Each structure stands twice: as structure tokens, then as C-alpha cells.
Amino acid sequence: MGIEPAAQRLEPAGDEENDDLREALLDAASRVVARRGYDGTRLAEVVSEAGLSTGAVYGRFRSKHELLRQAILTRSVPQTRVVPPEGNRVADLLRARATRPAGPLTDGEALLLEALVTARRDPEVSEALADATRQWRDAVTPLVETAVADGTVDPELDPEAVLHLTRVVRLGLLLLRGSGLPAPDPVAWDRLIERIVASFGVGGAGTAGQAGAGTAGQAGAKPTPAKPGKQAPRPPGRG
């Protein structure tokens, strides 16, 4: 079966968004994939998990794979909830995604890791993840434009690269947490993230209150003293 265009395959039509049974199936598929893995998920178990009949699936999805693709799109990468509250910045997005919560992975997080592994060999899953990533990028575009305009992201930096960093950090933390590997000291980790965030802004300011002010022009900034034993070079033409 070929891969259908994203606009035909993934966009809800009519009142699908208000279909409670459809949402129940997507929730159930997310939980089962989180437990069994993508390849190990059976339609019968998804239906049982949802407390529905098989007919409820085929009345809403053309196949098990379409159901699982939709679960990946809507549950593992929830685009409508990735944008920080109004007034926040790209820096806040990185801070939020660099936070390592305690405890086991949620169903959505486990589903995302399963989907990433499956995407290596399943082009349909890879396409679903690509669609989700494009929607996420569209959702945060206003955030990026605001950050460049107010100086919290230096115009000399590539905003796409900054957003890519936020995704890399998030996925890396999910992998480590899912595998049970130890994390660094939380205070030390937060300090490192703040250092990275501070480097985004104009002149390394990093926060809205400092945006547009370079390190040399900050109020109260003092010149760096010369190291002991060394003298600052004299301007040319002076004795």
C-alpha cells in the first residue's frame, strides 16, 4: 500500500474531532503501543482496551496502520500543547523541554519512542512523524518570529537550528529516562541549560529583559581588567 498524501490521510474531516469513540480508539491505541510496541500491537487488543467492537474501528479508520499513524500524530507529538503560554519565548520552550521529570514514561512518551524506532523500517510511520513535526513547526513559528524580533534569539543564529536543538534535547532525555540511565545533578543540569539559553540572545543576553543589549552595552557593565603581569596594548601613534 502506497503512502497517501498527508492532506488526504491525516486531516480530520467533518465532525471527526468531536467523535468520542474515535478518541477512545486513539487513546487505547496509544496505551497498547506503549506496552507492546508498534509491531506487537494487535487490533483486537486495541478494541478490547477501548471497550468497543471491531466495527467501530473500520467505521473510522481504513486499517490498523492508519489507526496507529493517527495515534502517533495526535498522542505522541501533541502540537496544540507544545507552545508555551502567550508572552513566553523560545528560551522557555527549551527550558520546558530540557526538564527531566521523575517517574516512568507516559503512554504518549513511550509511544513516541516506539514510533521513532519503527520509523527506521516503516515508511508510513516515518511519514506520520514527519507530518507531526511539520505541524509542530507551524505551531511554534510565531514564537520564533517574536524571538528574533525582540532579540531573545540573535538574528545571526538560525532559528531552525535552535528549534532543532529543543527537539534533540527532549528526545535524548526521553531515551535516557526510558532506559533507566542515571541523570546528572538537577541543579547542575538546570545551570547548564540556563547557560545555553543565555547564549541565544543578542550579545548573549538570552532573556526578554536583556534583549537587544550586547554584553559591552549592558548597564553597569565593567571593563574586563587586564591579567596580572600583562599590560593592555597602547593605541597606535601614542608614546
pTM, rounded to two decimals: 0.63
Residue 177: other Cβ atoms inside 10 A: 18
SS3 content of the chain, % helix, strand, coil (to 5): 60, 0, 40
Query: For 50-115, what is the HEC assignment?
Result: HCCCHHHHHCCCCCHHHHHHHHHHHHHCCHHHCCCCCCCCHHHHHHHHCCCCCCCCCHHHHHHHHH
pLDDT of residue 26: 94
- Write out pLDDT tens, residues 142-181: 888 888 888 888 888 888 888 888 888 888 988 888 888 8
Boundaries of every domain in the chain: 6-208
Is 37's pLDDT higher than 60?
A: yes
- Rounded Cα distance between 45 and 54, Å, is 10
Q: What is residue 18's DSSP assignment?
A: G
- Rounded Cα distance between 154 and 198, Å, is 11
Is 115's pLDDT higher than 80?
A: yes
Q: CA 10 → CA 26, 63, 67, 180, distances in Å?
A: 13, 13, 10, 34
Nearby residues of 139 by Cβ (< 8 Å), 6 or more positions away: 79, 80, 82, 83
- The CATH code that applies to domain 6-208 is 1.10.357.10
- Rounded Cα distance between 202 and 208, Å, is 10
Task: Quote the percentage of the chain above a pLDDT of 90.
Answer: 15
